[in-house]
Structure 1
Amino acid sequence: MASIDLSSMLKCALLRHGLRQDPPLEDDDEEARKGFMDPTVSYISSVLLDDDGDNEDHDQLARSGEYCQILSELTAIVAPRPLDSPKNSDSDGGLEYLLVRCAQAVAAGDSSRAFALVSDIKGALWRSSGSMGCLCRTISFFVDALTARLEGFGAQVYAAMAKEVTRRQYLSVRLLNLPCLKLSQRFANEHILELARGARRVHIVDYGIQYGFQWPYLIKALSQRSGGPPELKITGVDCPHVVNLAETGRKLVEFARSCGVPFEFMAVASENWEKERIIRCKNEVLVVNSVLRLRHLRDHGTVAVDNPREVFLGKICGLRPDLFLQTEISADMGSPLFLQRFKNALEFYKQKMEYFEAVAEGKPEEHGFIQKVAARDIMNIVACEGLERVERAASYRVWDARAKRAGFEGVAVTEEIYDKVRSACGKFRNPNFGFARDGNWMLLGWKGTVLYAMSAWRPKRVLQVAGMFQVL
């Protein structure tokens, strides 16, 4: 099948909502040609060379040993069998049809029918294993997740898969090579640099900081500011089981010192971000930032006062930050209804895996890592429920409505920032990959599907007049 140009498909898909779509820039990123990203690469290398990180990976793999057997046993639970109907072919369309039927059987509680369909699909996948395409690989991840759900081992298998993705793999692959992450970080950093012009003190609260590799680019840029760098403080918030925040802080302090930037780091280790109290100091520019992590906040699916997402956004708005920067996976995969969530996830990952395949072409290490992460996330979406399900992505339109209810207003993306973000693609060029804008959201799409969305916000200004408050 001939490839379909995104300039037509993405445009058709988005213009129905009044959006306009722009193609990627053709010129290479000037700053990349000058080696401006080298600070980030050197920072990642320093983390990789840390001996403590090596021990952490070995310990992590050892702890996952008790679950690895479950992974291998699940692959053999249902033996593949020949398809019993000539109507169901081994084509990708036929496999997808069988997969949805299997999910319907699972949703209806018909386990015998579901197991039979799992066996059919595995048989077809086994026969095509020598030439398995992107869709077949994606279907195999969903089949494994359905099998784990049927057997009641979803949480255990997900835990094993999560522990198999070590820090060394995460950093050595250098996810900055993935346009989605590289562009989202550039989007945030360019907004912060614009805001920090002339500021004497800048405070960034980063929810989901992980290893902090978003910030070397910003620190280096601030060090080259005319008139000298500001005092920079970063409050890193993350879950204690995800990352060692003390180590992240130590590395960032070392890097800032090497650049001559006055720097302070504060660690906040927490599982419940909506409950943590952040203190804003006087005379500082405050920025709240989160890249691809707010989807892990719990969501009741309602506009309730105790909804963690509503509470979180309300708390952030109450800090009156100068800027709130948000990047999200844009997909409706948070529904408590299994079948709806399954179908939405399948449609999303069909496109996302194609995008990942294009990005990782000719890079076997990155390709293997990306597949491992995708399989892990699909396992959680399909096979886990309740508090065990942590992948709860929502569309950018849902996040947009929540932010506005919390008291935020959108900050328009300037042409200068927009062009810089687009140019950060570097050498990655693909006609199926492109950009669109919707209000203050900058969207990244693949074949007409929005995959990632970035936005900038600020609290609505309030004017007190004769004892009354008026929103401007």
Structure 2
Amino acid sequence: MRAEVRGKTSSVSVHNNSTILNRADNSSVYGALKGCLGSLDGGCIEKLLVHCGSALESHDVTLAQQVMWVLNNVASLVGDPNQRLTSWFLRALVSRASRVCPSPSPTSMSFNGSSIRVETRLMSVTDLARYVDVIPWHRFGFCAANIAIYKAIERYQKVHILDFSISHCMQWPTLIDALSKRPQGPPSLRITVPSFRPQVPPLLNIPTQQIGLCLTKFANSKNIPFQFNLFPYNHNNNNIIISLFDPSILNLQHDEALVINCQHWLRYVSDDEKDDFINATKRLNPRITVVVDEDFDLTDSSLASRITTSFNYFWIPFDALETFLSKDSTQRLEYEADVGQRIENIIGFEGKQRVERLESCVKVSERMRNGGYLNQPFCDEAADEVKALLAEQASGWGMKREEDALVLTWKGHNAVFVTAWVSSDDEIVVA
């Protein structure tokens, strides 16, 4: 996806704004602006962000400051999607400058968005439900994954789900309800979650154990025997991570169908541990493994590449929210702030401090195959249910099939993928 095709421009004059051009007198900045007549569109903003990132990488404080001045005249937290997105990228670049540039730093100046105080937002369960419903980022994965899981376990009377997810088990009430109506009767169900969860949005104001109690109460109301368990998970030690995928520690039983669910989780496993993580899950011989994540790639070490990829990708939620929420909507501002915190981490930090290590669907699928998994395509019935879900959303959302996956799209651009995998030659029709 290229920013130039968005069809929207930010309402900041370039060729008539002498103040901006005087401040941006560096030839590199002028080159970035050349051809952007009238207003700065997404393509011009992207070029400026890349110039700023390159300047910071080379410790060129003067150039970084000049580009920031131009970006500052575009950025607005209550403007159009490009302006709002620019505010968060500017904040991320200022944050990076504060750590990597020698004094005097560009952060000594006042930039729009750079002084925003972003506080950790703890949600109630009701708030979380509202958060999940804003755009189908999570519900798409829930729907497709639950269909795959339901079909995979239909012959089993005992089911164990090992759930790696950042969405606090919001996926499971729908599946529990479906299992309660199963023609042959519901199975007994165990859900096991790791004790560690990345400290990323959405965050809840209740402990994980309380979530388990809520799920237990709901499952009991549906007459489903249910257990909720935590297992220890040390994300800072790969050897501990792998050793904890032990059938005895997980209390796996030979007569239960094991399901491994990874919803927006692999991005928080470090690059050098992803293959070990996948191999460890494969050794558990799950009935099905489902992987859901965002379909863009942050593996390039170049900051300029990360800026380009992230700017073109994160435009999607900013543009989608524009279609139905007012510019000063509190819900919209909070959701965008959550995305903005991700942008700051991706652009502002390096090494272990950069917690997001997203890979594209193609790369994740390659890892799964190298780990011995076999892909299970989704059939028409599954696709139809996902399309029905998206029909309730804004008209820009859609779904397409790719070789290994179902993919959520916004105006034709890939957003989130879901894939299903098995660890043996047993065929499962995921429908």
Q: Could you tell me which amino acid in structure 1 is paired with residue 85 of structure 2?
A: T
1:258 aligns with 2:221: yes
Alignment of 1:64-83 (within 5 A): 82-83=20-21
Pair 1:174–1:105, CA change in 2 (3 A): closer
Structure 1: distance between partners of 2:269 and 2:285: 21
Query: What SS does the aligned partner of 2:231 have?
Result: strand
Task: Return the alpha-carbon distance in structure 1 between the equivalents of residues 57 and 100 of structure 2.
Answer: 17
354 and 130 in structure 1: CA distance in 2 versus 1, 3 angstrom threshold: closer
Percent of aligned pairs with the same amino acid:
23
What is aligned with 1:443? 407
- 2:259 matched to 1:287? yes
Distance of 1:289 and 1:131 partners within structure 2? 37
- Tell me if the contact between 1:287 and 1:321 (Cα under 8 Å) persists in the aligned partners: yes
Quote the offset at 1:294 in angstroms.
1.3
Query: Higher helix share goes to which structure?
Result: 1
- Greater mean alpha carbon deviation, residues 404-413 or residues 207-216: 207-216
Q: Is the Cα–Cα contact under 8 Å of residues 352 and 451 in structure 1 kept in the other structure?
A: no
- The reply to whether residue 277 of structure 1 matches residue 234 of structure 2 is no
- Residue 119 (structure 1) shift: 2.0
Q: Can you list the C-alpha shifts for 1:394-441, whole angstroms capped at 9, x where unaligned?
A: 1100001000000001001011111111111242141x4322111230
- Relative to structure 1, is the Cα distance of residues 241 and 197 closer, same or farther in structure 2, using a 3 angstrom cutoff? closer
User: Displacement, 1:191?
Assistant: 1.3
When structure 1 is superposed on structure 2, of 371-380 and 359-368 the one drifting more is: 359-368
1:228 aligns with 2:185: yes
What are the equivalent positions in structure 2 for 1:21-100 lying under 5 Å apart?
Answer: 82-84=20-22, 88=33, 90-92=39-41, 93-100=43-50
Alignment of 1:297 onto 2:269: yes
State which of 335, 341, 360 in structure 2 corresponds to 1:376.
341
Q: How many pairs align?
A: 371
> Match for 2:423 among 444, 451, 459?
459
TM-score, normalization: structure 1? 0.72
Aligned-pair RMSD on alpha carbons? 3.0
Moved more, 81-90 or 172-181: 81-90
Q: How does 1:327-342 map to 2 (within 5 A)?
A: 327-342=292-307
Is contact 1:178–1:359 with CA below 8 Å preserved after alignment?
no
Correspondence for 1:121 = 71
1:141 aligns with 2:105: no
C-alpha separation between the residues in 1 aligned to 2:147 and 2:346? Answer: 33
CA distance in 1, matches of 2:119, 2:283: 36
Aligned-partner Cα distance in 2 for 1:177–1:426: 14
Structure 1 residues 162, 336: CA separation in 2 closer, same or farther (over 3 Å shift)? Answer: farther
3-state SS in 1 of match to 2:417: strand
Structure 2 residue ranges without an equivalent (≥5): 7-18, 102-112, 427-431
Give the equivalent residue in structure 2 for 1:353.
318
Runs of 5+ unmatched residues, structure 1? 7-80, 300-306, 463-472
1:318 corresponds to which of 280, 283, 286: 283
- Asked if the contact 2:54–2:303 (Cα under 8 Å) also holds between the matched residues in 1, the reply is no
Query: Which secondary structure does the structure 1 equivalent of 2:20 belong to?
Result: coil
Residue by residue over 1:250-291, the C-alpha shift from the partner in whole angstroms, topping out at 9 and shown as x without a partner, is 111111112211001111243428433242311111110011
Q: What SS does the aligned partner of 2:307 have? A: helix
State the alpha-carbon separation in 2 of the partners of residues 139 and 5 from structure 1.
17
Residue type of the alignment partner of 1:448: G
**C-alpha displacement at 1:388, in angstroms?**
0.9
CA distance, structure 2, for counterparts of residue 362 and residue 186 of structure 1: 30
Q: Which has the larger displacement, 283-292 or 167-176?
A: 167-176
Alignment partners' CA distance in 2, 1:187 and 1:102: 40
> CA 1:245–1:398 in structure 2 vs 1: closer, same or farther (change >3 Å)?
same
Q: Deviations over 1:282-327 (max 9, x none)?
A: 111111001112111111xxxxxxx210000001111111100011
Q: Deviations over 1:135-173 (max 9, x none)?
A: 11111111110001001199xx99x97752322385163
Q: Which amino acid aligns with 2:168?
A: Y
CA distance in 1: counterparts of 2:350 and 2:169, whole angstroms: 30
On the 8 A contact 2:189/2:225 being kept in 1, the answer is yes
The CA distance in 1 between the partners of 2:327 and 2:92, in whole Å, is 28
**Deviation at 1:208?**
2.0
Q: Which residue of 2 aligns with 1:181?
A: 138
TM-score (norm 2): 0.78
Q: Which amino acid aligns with 2:245?
A: R
Question: Does structure 1 residue 424 correspond to structure 2 residue 373?
Answer: no
Give distance in 1, aligned partners of 2:87 and 2:389: 33
Q: Which residue does 1:165 correspond to in 2? A: 121
Pairwise CA distance, 1:181: 1.2
* Partners of 2:161 and 2:261 within 8 A in 1: yes
2:160 to 182, 203, 208: 203
User: Whole-Å Cα distance in 2 between the matches of residues 209 and 281 of structure 1?
Assistant: 26
Query: 112-121 or 235-244: which moved more?
Result: 235-244
Question: Are the equivalent residues in 2 in contact too, given 1:210–1:238 (CA < 8 A)?
Answer: no
CA distance in 2, matches of 1:139, 1:254: 45
The residue aligned with 2:366 is 401
| Partner AA of 2:193 in structure 1 | G
Partner of 1:16: none
Q: Which moved more, 1:373-382 or 1:229-238?
A: 229-238
Amino acid at match of 1:323: I
Name the SS of the counterpart of 1:164 in structure 2.
coil
1:117 deviation in Å? 1.4
- The CA deviation at 1:373 is 1.1
Q: Name which structure has the greater RCO, CA cutoff 8 Å, separation 6+.
A: 1
